[in-house]
Chain A
Amino acid sequence: NAGVTQTPKFQVLKTGQSMTLQCAQDMNHEYMSWYRQDPGMGLRLIHYSVGAGITDQGEVPNGYNVSRSTTEDFPLRLLSAAPSQTSVYFCASSYVASGEQETQYFGPGTRLLVL
């Protein structure tokens, strides 16, 4: 059981380039989400998904795209990278189960630098 995995761990992009941050979980969790973390700020929600084929926007969705074709995978696409997207990106997953303690399981993060 690997939990939540993210690739790559580090990435440097030039302005205007596109790329995909990968996220996978092997816990059969319904809910997956992407957050970004900037200095002096907590994590902010970019996009989330409540199940395969269903996605929605979070607090800071501009410049990012997501899709959820399987329960396991939830990739985040940067369409045209900008320096403002320099950040640490976290993927998280959880399940909705009444009567049980809840938590969100976070991946190790991807550090992205856009020059």
Chain B
Amino acid sequence: AQKITQTQPGMFVQEKEAVTLDCTYDTSDQSYGLFWYKQPSSGEMIFLIYQGSYDEQNATEGRYSLNFQKARKSANLVISASQLGDSAMYFCAMREDKFGNEKLTFGTGTRLTIIP
């Protein structure tokens, strides 16, 4: 069963607008972690933000915030004031908390294009 679902294959957003990238997940664990990564055209995987399942507040990192809705099992990434450099693939990933488990399960990604 697919554990991470990203339903938006591609998005086009006007520069300076805010954008929300959707991510839903499926797990029976009570303890887990959610990650967002950015992959620009150069190919490297860049860590953006992390949310633990027990964190009561939504994670924020600069222009990135994670809209964590535990009951809905969603972990949407919000980018405020988008910039041309935000054009990239974005991947949501989940780590299920088991001892010694640092394995990430990735979604299929969303390609974000920022329009000048």
Contact = CB atoms under 8 A, between A and B. Distances in A.
By CB atoms of chain A within 10 A, which of B44, B45, B50, B105 has the most? B45
- For chain A, the bracket of interface size reads 20 to 34
Interface stretch (B14-22, B63-71, B78-86, B96-104): B96-104
Interface in B49-107: 50, 91, 93, 95, 100, 102-107
Contact of B44 (A42, A45, A101, A106): A106
B106 A43 contact: yes
A105 B103 CA distance: 12
A108 B104 contact: no
Contact of A109 (B43, B102, B103, B109): B43
Interface of B is mostly: strand
Contacts of B102: 31, 33, 48, 50, 94, 96, 102, 104
B43 A108 contact: yes
B108 A106 contact: no
Interface in A87-115: 88, 90, 92, 94, 96, 101-106, 108-109
B64 to A, nearest CB: 13
Contacts of A92: 45, 104
B109 A104 contact: no
A41 B45 contact: no
Nearest to B47: A103
Nearest to A88: B43
User: By CB atoms of chain A within 10 A, which of B50, B102, B108, B109 has the most?
Assistant: B102
B4 A105 contact: no
B35 interface: yes
A45 B103 contact: yes
A40 interface: yes
Ranked 4 nearest A-B pairs via Cβ: A42-B106, A106-B45, A31-B102, A103-B47
